[in-house]
A and B are shown apart, each in its own frame.
Chain A
Amino acid sequence: MARCFLLAGFYLSFCQLLVAQDLAAVLKAEKARIDVVNKVRPSTVAILIGGGTNGGTGVLISDDGYALTNFHVTQPAGPTMKCGLPDKVLYDAVLVGLDKVGDVALIKLLPKTPGQKFPFAVMADSDTVNEGDWSIAMGNPFLLATDFTPTVTFGLISGVHRYQYPSGVILEYTDCIQIDTSINPGNSGGPLFNMKGELIGINGRGSFDKRGRVNSGVGYAISINQIKNFMGHLKAGIDTDHASLGTLVTTQTESTGISKMRVSQILDESDVYRRGLDVGDELVSFAGRQIGSVNHFKNVLGLYPRGWRVPLQFTREEKDAVKKYDVLARLMGVQRKEVKDPGQPDPEGKPAPAPIDIKKLLGPKGPAAKYFIAKPGFANFYFNKQEKDRLMTAFAKHGNFAPVNGNWDVAAKSSLRLIREPITTKISIDEVKEGAGSKSVVKIGYGSSNPYELEPLKGSQEPLALRMPENSGGFNAALYVYHRLLTMGEKGFDQFHHGGVEPYYPPPADAREAKEVNWGKQRTLVEVLKTSHGPFQTKWYFDLKTAQLVGMEHRSADNEDPCEVFFSDYRDVGGRQLPHRIAVWHNDNHYGTFDVSGYKLAAAK
Chain B
Amino acid sequence: MKFRLCLVWFTFMAAPIAAQDPVTKVAVDVNKKLVKIFGTGGFKGLPSYGTGIMVSPQGHVLTVNNHILTTTMVRVHLYDSRILNAKVIFREPELDLAMLKIEGDIDFMPHYDIEEAKKQPLAENGDWIFASSNSFQIATRDEPMSIMHGVVAAYSELRGRRGVFEAPFSGEVYFVDCIANNPGAAGGALTNRKGQLLGIVGRELKNTLTDTWINYAVPVQAKIEFKREDKLVKVDIAEFVSESIAGKYRQSEKVARQDRGGYTGVVLVANPVMATPPYVEEVEPGSPAYNAGLRPDDLILYVDGELVSTIKLYREIMSQIPPGSEIKMEIQRGNKLESIKLKVLEPKKAPAVSAPK
Instruction: Tell me if A134 and B22 are in contact (CB < 8 A).
Output: yes
Residue from A10, A30, A132 within 8 A of B147 (CB atoms):
A132
A162 and B24 CA atoms in complex are apart in Å by 16
The reply to whether A257 and B180 form a contact with Cβ atoms under 8 Å apart is no
Q: Do A11 and B20 have beta carbons less than 8 Å apart?
A: no
Q: Are A131 and B6 in contact, CB atoms less than 8 angstroms apart?
A: no
Query: For the complex, is B353 an interface residue (Cβ under 8 Å from A)?
Result: no
Write out, one digit per residue, whether chain A residues 536-576 have a CB within 8 A of any chain B CB (1) or not (0): 00000000000000000000000000000000000000000
Q: For the complex, what is the distance from the CA of A22 to the CA of B13, rounded to whole Å?
A: 10
Q: A257-B83, A259-B141, A293-B142 are in contact. Are A131 and B19 (CB under 8 A)?
A: no
Interface residues of B in 6-59 (CB under 8 A from A): 6, 10, 13-14, 16, 18-20, 22-28, 45
Q: Say which one of B131-139, B269-277, B341-349 lies at the interface with A.
A: B131-139
27 residue pairs of the A-B complex, CB under 8 angstroms, read A25-B18, A29-B18, A29-B19, A29-B20, A30-B19, A130-B27, A131-B28, A132-B23, A132-B26, A155-B148, A158-B148, A159-B138, A159-B146, A195-B20, A216-B179, A217-B179, A217-B180, A217-B182, A218-B135, A218-B136, A218-B146, A218-B179, A257-B82, A257-B84, A258-B82, A293-B143, A295-B141
Which chain B residues border A218 with CB–CB below 8 Å?
135-136, 138, 146, 179, 182
- B23 pairs with A156, CB closer than 8 A: yes
CB-based contact A209/B136 at 8 Å: yes
Name A residues whose Cβ lies closer than 8 Å to a Cβ of B: 7, 10-11, 14, 18, 21-22, 25-26, 28-30, 32-33, 130-134, 155-156, 158-159, 161-162, 164, 178, 180, 195, 207, 209-211, 215-218, 253, 256-259, 292-293, 295
Would you call A10 and B6 a contact (CB within 8 A)?
A: yes
Give the CA-CA distance A207 to B213 in the complex, in Å: 15
- Shortest B74–chain A CB gap in Å is 14
Question: Is the CB–CB distance between A180 and B16 below 8 Å?
Answer: no
Q: How far is the CB of A209 from chain B (nearest CB, A)?
A: 6
Q: State whether the Cβ of B81 lies closer than 8 Å to any Cβ in chain A.
A: yes
A2 to chain B, nearest CB (A): 13
Q: For residue B242, which residues in chain A have a CB less than 8 angstroms away from its CB?
A: none
Q: Assess the B182–A26 pair: CB atoms within 8 A.
A: no
- B219-265 contacts to A (CB < 8 Å): none
Asked if A259 contacts B83 (CB within 8 A), the reply is: yes
Q: In chain B between 120 and 152, which residues have their CB closer than 8 angstroms to a CB of chain A?
A: 130, 135-136, 138-149
In the complex, chain A residues whose CB is within 8 Å of the CB of B6: 7, 10-11, 14
The docked-state distance in angstroms from the alpha carbon of A223 to that of B45 is 30
Cross-chain contact of A130 among B22, B84, B141 (Cβ < 8 A): B22
Shortest CB-to-CB span from A197 to chain B, Å, is: 13
B169 CB to nearest A CB, Å: 21
Q: Is there a chain A Cβ closer than 8 Å to B178's Cβ?
A: yes
A215 to B215, CA, bound (A): 14
CA distance A93 to B35 in the complex (A): 48
- Contact A257–B20 (Cβ < 8 Å): no
Q: Tell me the chain B residues, 186-242 only, with Cβ under 8 Å from chain A.
A: 213
Asked whether A210 and B149 contact (CB < 8 A) given A29-B19, A258-B82, the answer is no
- Say whether B140 contacts A159, CB under 8 Å: no
Instruction: Take A180-B149, A217-B148, A217-B180 as given contacts and tell me if A133 and B24 are in contact as well, using a CB distance cutoff of 8 Å.
Output: yes
Choose one: B2, B20, B24, B146; the contact of A178 (CB below 8 Å). B146
Q: Is B334 in the interface zone, CB < 8 Å from A?
A: no
With A21-B16, A33-B20, A180-B178 given, is the CB distance from A155 to B138 under 8 Å? no
Take A218-B138, A259-B141 as given contacts and tell me if A26 and B146 are in contact as well, using a CB distance cutoff of 8 Å.
no
B356 at the A/B interface (Cβ < 8 Å)? no
Residue of A nearest to B204 (CB): A210
B18 and A21 within 8 A (CB): no
A18, closest chain B residue (CB): B13
Interfacial chain B residues near A253, Cβ < 8 Å: 83
Q: A29-B19, A30-B19, A218-B135 are in contact. Are A293 and B82 (CB under 8 A)?
A: no
Given A22-B16, A132-B24, A217-B178; A159-B136 close (CB under 8 Å): no
Assess whether B10 is in contact with A159, with CB atoms less than 8 Å apart.
no
Complex contacts, A30 vs chain B, CB 8 Å: 19
Assess whether B138 is in contact with A207, with CB atoms less than 8 Å apart: yes
Task: Determine how close the nearest CB of chain B comes to the CB of A179; give it in whole angstroms.
Answer: 9
In the complex, the 10 A-B pairs of residues with the closest C-beta atoms, listed nearest first: A217-B179, A257-B82, A132-B24, A29-B19, A180-B148, A132-B27, A132-B23, A29-B20, A158-B146, A207-B136
Interface centre among A131, A164, A292, by most B CB within 10 Å?
A131
Q: In the assembled complex, which residues on chain A have CB atoms less than 8 Å from the CB atom of B81?
A: 257-259, 292-293
- Determine the residue in chain A with the shortest Cβ distance to B2: A7
Q: Which of A28, A162, A211 contacts B213 (CB 8 A)?
A: A211
Are A158 and B140 closer than 8 Å at their CB atoms?
Answer: no
B286 at the interface (CB under 8 A from A): no
B285 interface residue (CB < 8 Å to A) = no
- CB pair A131 B27 closer than 8 Å: yes
Q: How far is the CB of A441 from chain B (nearest CB, A)?
A: 59
Which B-chain residue is minimally distant from A25 (CB atoms)?
B18
Contacts of B82 in A (CB 8 A): 256-258
CB distance from A289 to the nearest CB of B (A): 13
How far apart are A217's CB and chain B's nearest CB, in angstroms? Answer: 3
Most buried by B among A22, A159, A209: A159
Q: Does B3 contact A (CB under 8 A)?
A: yes
- B351 interfacial contact with A, CB 8 Å: no
Which of these, B25, B130, B143, B183, contacts A295 with CB under 8 Å?
Answer: B143
14 more CB-based (< 8 A) A-B contacts, given A18-B13, A164-B138, A295-B143: A14-B13, A131-B147, A132-B22, A132-B26, A159-B138, A162-B138, A180-B146, A180-B147, A217-B148, A217-B180, A257-B82, A259-B81, A292-B81, A293-B141
B305 an interface residue at 8 Å Cβ cutoff?
A: no
User: Which residue of chain A has the shortest Cβ distance to B106 in the bound complex?
Assistant: A257
Inter-chain contacts of A161 with B (CB < 8 A): 143
User: Which partner residue on chain B sits nearest A162 by CB separation?
Assistant: B138
Contact A7 B3 (CB under 8 A): yes
Q: How far is the CB of B151 from chain A (nearest CB, A)?
A: 13
Cα A563 to Cα B336 in complex, Å, equals: 89
Kindly state the separation between the CA atoms of A445 and B143 in the bound complex, as whole angstroms.
58
* A-side contacts of B183, CB under 8 Å: 209
Cβ A156 vs Cβ B179 within 8 A: no
Q: How far is the CB of A145 from chain B (nearest CB, A)?
A: 24
B45 partner residues in chain A, CB cutoff 8 A = 210
Residue of A nearest to B181 (CB): A217
Complex CA–CA separation, A25 to B19 (angstroms): 7
Contact A156 B78, beta carbon cutoff 8 Å: no
**Given known A256-B82, A259-B81, A292-B81, contact A155–B149 (CB-CB < 8 A):** yes
